[in-house]
Amino acid sequence: MTLAKLPITSYINFIVIMYAFILPISRAGIVFFSLLLILLWLFEAGFQAKYRLLSQNKVILALLGFLLFNILSLLWSNNVGDAYHYIVKYWYFLPMIVLFTSVQKASIPKILSAFIAGMFVSEMLSYGVFFEVWEFKHATAENPSPFMHHIEYSIFLAFTALIILGRIFNHKEVKYQLLYSLFFMSIIGNLFLTAGRTGQIAFLVGIFVLAFISFQNKFKAFVVFVLLSSFISFIAFNFSSTFHQRILAAKTNILHAIEDQKYCSSLGARIGACIVVGDMILSDPLLGVGIIDNMEVFHAKIDKDYPQMQCLHLSFMHLHNQFWQITTQLGLVGLFLFLMLFYRIFTLNIREHRV
């Protein structure tokens, strides 16, 4: 059968595999394939069946509720134009709609494998930069993140490591378990060579969740979590100078912020931001102050009430914490809708083999 004779759904599944591969490699590729998927989805038609599927899915409904509340917040925003451009960026969620309605079950392992392959390319480039074999864009030996900011890259690495770990837990053939184990170790090495503490923390939390999902025996799951997370943390602390230095720096930053009110450091600034955010939430608890407006209020409060935090003006165009960002923008109502999305994902009824 030639490609031209394939139905549009098959095109979509093929494009999703390409999309998964390019996801960790190219922002331009993400935009291109996202638009292509949306276009094919529209040509695929079958909107009545799609609507029925979407309207019955609690994750999609939670996402829709959050997005609609973002739009509603324009009513109390003083920067409607900028806030609108901020909300428009959520169009990146649209491929999720395509995936939910049009991706066939048989394509899912291929999609995950394509994403892993893309991460492998990124990882090899990262290691090449770290060992100074080559130079690549803005990556450095101290922070070898080749295609994206180190925080985002660390999240991608953590997610990939958890996919691989899940396959190690559930695959029956020893040769594949050994192959996945080698890749898992290389991913973990890359994760703890970067400066992305967010991904490192997310990975350790993810091990806990994955262990309890994968093992019916909860005591066994807890033992696996404790042993694996302790071993990885010990190895990372003793063999990764980047991780070692950032852990020690984090301890120093926290002590200086708490004891000396010195907030001009990475974690010190985040502690200072929490103090300012606390005041903002108390002032506008339910609906927040609006998208974009929240950062204007944040900086104004620093000037008025916290002169010792003036250095935060230079680095805080965003609160560096999505939960604080949403709460100051949309209040506790917006935070509830955002958390509801995670709750709906976490409570999905997924049938999966357990060991």
- Whether residue 233 has pLDDT greater than 50: yes
pLDDT tens profile 160-215: 999 998 888 877 788 888 888 999 999 988 888 887 778 888 888 888 888 887 77
Based on the number of CB atoms within 10 Å of its own CB, is 298 exposed (0-12), middle (13-18) or buried (19 or more)? buried
Phi first, then psi: give them for residue 311, nearest 5 degrees: -65, -20
22, amino acid identity: I
Q: CA 134, CA 151: separation in Å to the nearest integer? A: 22
CA 179 to chain centre: 26
The predicted model scores a pTM of 0.82
Question: Could you please report the per-residue DSSP string of 161-223?
Answer: HHHHHHHHHH---HHHHHHHHHHHHHHHHHHHHSS-HHHHHHHHHHHHHHHHHH-SSHHHHHH
- Whether residue 355 has pLDDT greater than 60: no
Q: CA 238, CA 136: separation in Å to the nearest integer? A: 27
Based on the number of CB atoms within 10 Å of its own CB, is 331 exposed (0-12), middle (13-18) or buried (19 or more)? buried
Q: CA 306, CA 182: separation in Å to the nearest integer? A: 50
| Residues 292/83, Cβ–Cβ less than 8 Å | yes
pLDDT tens profile 97-144: 999 899 988 999 999 999 999 999 999 999 998 888 888 887 888 778
Kindly state the tokens that stand for 145: 């993140």
Kindly state the tokens that stand for 76: 């109390």
